[in-house]
Every structure is written in structure tokens, then in C-alpha cells.
Amino acid sequence: MIDSLDEEPPECRQCGWSVEPASERRVVTTVEDGTAVHRHFCSTECLERWEPPASD
């Protein structure tokens, strides 16, 4: 996966830190209302602490 250098990196969904391209970076992709939603995490630890939104 190649990231665009023109955009600012996203914030970690758990801690709010900047998610730089690195080996620890994690992304969770879901489909909500027909749209792909990407949630970025700066590390495996933040991903493990994150609680996904409840399904209806």
C-alpha cells in the first residue's frame, strides 16, 4: 500500500496521535451505509484497546 505524500497522515482512532506510515500501523475497514470507512491506528496496542461501534 502506498500512501499519498500530499495529504496529512490520519489520526489514530484510539489515542489521537498522527498515524505515520510504519510497520506498526493498522487499518480496519468496514462498510457502513454502503460506504467504505477506514479507521487508522498507530499500533497494535491501540487497535486492541479500540471498541468498534455497536451494530444495529
- pLDDT of 1-56, one tens digit each? 445 555 788 999 999 999 988 888 999 999 999 999 999 999 999 999 998 877 65
How high is the pLDDT of residue 41? Answer: 95
Assign 3-class secondary structure to the chain. Answer: CCCCCCCCCCECCCCCCECCCCCCCEEEEEEECCEEEEEEECCHHHHHHCCCCCCC
Instruction: Return the pLDDT at 55.
Output: 62
pTM tops 0.85:
no
Q: Specify the amino acid at residue 11.
A: E
What was the pLDDT predicted at 25?
A: 92
Q: Domain ranges in the chain?
A: 9-51
Phi–psi pair at 5, nearest 5 degrees:
-85, -5
